[in-house]
Amino acid sequence: MDIKEEIDDIKGYEEIKERLEDFFKALTKYEEMAEQLKKTKLSPNLTVLLYGPPGTGKTSLTRAFSKKYNIPMCIVESNRLVSPLLGDTIKNIRNVIELSAEIAKENGAFILFFDEIDAIGSERSNIHEVGEIKRAVISFLQVIDRINYEGLPLAILGATNHQHQLDSAIWRRFTFHLKFDFPDYELRKKIIESFVKKIENADIGIDNKIQESLEKEYKKIREIHKNLESKLNRKISEFDNTLLWNEVEKKGTIKGLIQLTIGYSGSDIERGTRVALFKVIHTGLLTYDLFFNSLNLVGGTASHVERQDIVSSMKTFENNQKKNNSNKRKSSGPPEI
């Protein structure tokens, strides 16, 4: 499959891009340096864990680097490795990694990317985990250790939206831990502008109000942000608390594209742009109202994640209540003989 993504397509994450740049450069030279590295007894493990909310660019950025350095990449949907048949999950994990190792031995640098790695790397101490997953975690750890020991040019990358569910030993096996997060308002402005530019490059009309409104809203938010930091004498992130957006609302700032997309990932903004395109195909013009309504329609990932957390908490609460009620019934009955 041809990789479409370019590194510049994924806005922001400059520090992560720098880390991945070093990693991919090292991977291209790893084979010729392997013997020297073995002598140091400090051979770097070719492992990277990317974590954070869905749609923030973990897979896309990895693909873009793979394309830049012309290194073949295999993306594995980890949940498809899990089997209800005893022992099959372990076999699936070993087969995928061992096949990738053979490819790396014969052809050089190769990337094995485990998407949703928590499916096979959940915390073993979790009482809800069945024995099969616990054995799968152990197997995964053993295979990674062997690959690292042999010094093969096989890079193993994992991505997860549920980093807190990962087994601590899985965490330790990954050399780099790269955190992806929702874009802040400055980055959201750049992402929105980049999608508008793509539409403009396709010779589709763009309402001037989009850029004018975006600039006006950004300058106002930036001014409020700076004044608030000066007043409190400390740095403030829009994600740390609601201080910034409470202040923005107090100042009566009209809600525009930037404020609308709080908690949106880059992928959410892209989806909103695609929705707008359905109308634009007929009208030939991307208007401000159409763009705003389309982004509003798709919603942001942060709100969905928050709802999932609430649902999960409610289920845990309900299960605990059931257990407590069950224990009460047992204790209130006659003693067992």
Q: Where are the domains of the chain?
A: 7-179, 185-301
d(CA 215, CA 209): 10
Cβ-Cβ contacts under 8 Å for 46 (sequence gap 6 or more): 23, 26, 27, 30, 148, 153, 154, 155, 156, 175
Q: Which of 61, 174, 68, 64 is nearest to 117 (CA)?
A: 174
Is residue 130's pLDDT more than 80? no
CATH class held by domain 7-179: alpha beta
pLDDT of residue 44: 66
Sheet holding 73-77, edge to edge: 73-77, 110-115, 154-160, 47-51, 176-179
| Residue 252: predicted pLDDT | 81
CA distances from 282 to 197, 205, 271 (A): 19, 12, 18
Residue among 327, 322, 263, 320 at smallest CA distance from 295: 263
User: Which pLDDT score, from 0 to 100, does residue 332 have?
Assistant: 41
- pLDDT digit string, tens, across residues 58-100: 999 999 999 999 999 999 999 888 887 768 888 999 999 999 9
What pLDDT digit, counting tens, does each position of 157-200 carry?
999 998 888 888 889 889 899 999 999 999 999 999 999 999 99
Strand spans (E) along 173-289: 176-179, 205-206, 285-286
Weakest mean pLDDT among 119-133, 160-174, 260-274 = 119-133
Q: For the whole prediction, is pTM greater than 0.75?
A: yes
What are the φ/ψ torsions at residue 264 (nearest 5 degrees)?
-90, 140
Q: Is the pLDDT of residue 306 over 60?
A: no
What is the pLDDT of the chain when averaged over all its residues?
Answer: 84
| 3-class secondary structure, 124 | coil
